[in-house]
Structure 1
Amino acid sequence: MGWTDEELEGWIGTLDPARATRIQQAYPLAFFDRHLRGIRSRLLDGPSRAFPEVRYLP
């Protein structure tokens, strides 16, 4: 069964691949910095203006 582009877009949205890569790098880095190196980052504290496409779930 194949899905249309519109169906896929509705399920997963659209995001520039370079932007997605940047987000995928930033959050794990912030996590490991905080928990392994003790460096605090606001990125993990809540919604970020730098990445408005990311939903924060407390």
Structure 2
Amino acid sequence: MSAPCGPRSLSVVGHARRTRFETATPVNHPGPYFRVRALNAAGKAIGTSEVVKRHWDHHGS
């Protein structure tokens, strides 16, 4: 998972192993914008999401 560190760049802020079709990835970064990249077993990118804005619940997490 990556988050913006500037207007045109992203930095890695988390990793998660696939556990099922939709894997939750906890991130300790304020964001609020993130992008996810899927890697195959060799570490090659096989898909990248659009940049999305993190949505907070009513408890602020």
TM-score scaled by length of structure 1: 0.20
Higher radius of gyration, 1 or 2 = 1
Richer in helix (by share): 1
Richer in strand (by share): 2
Q: Report 1 or 2 for greater relative contact order, CA contacts < 8 Å, sequence distance ≥ 6.
A: 2
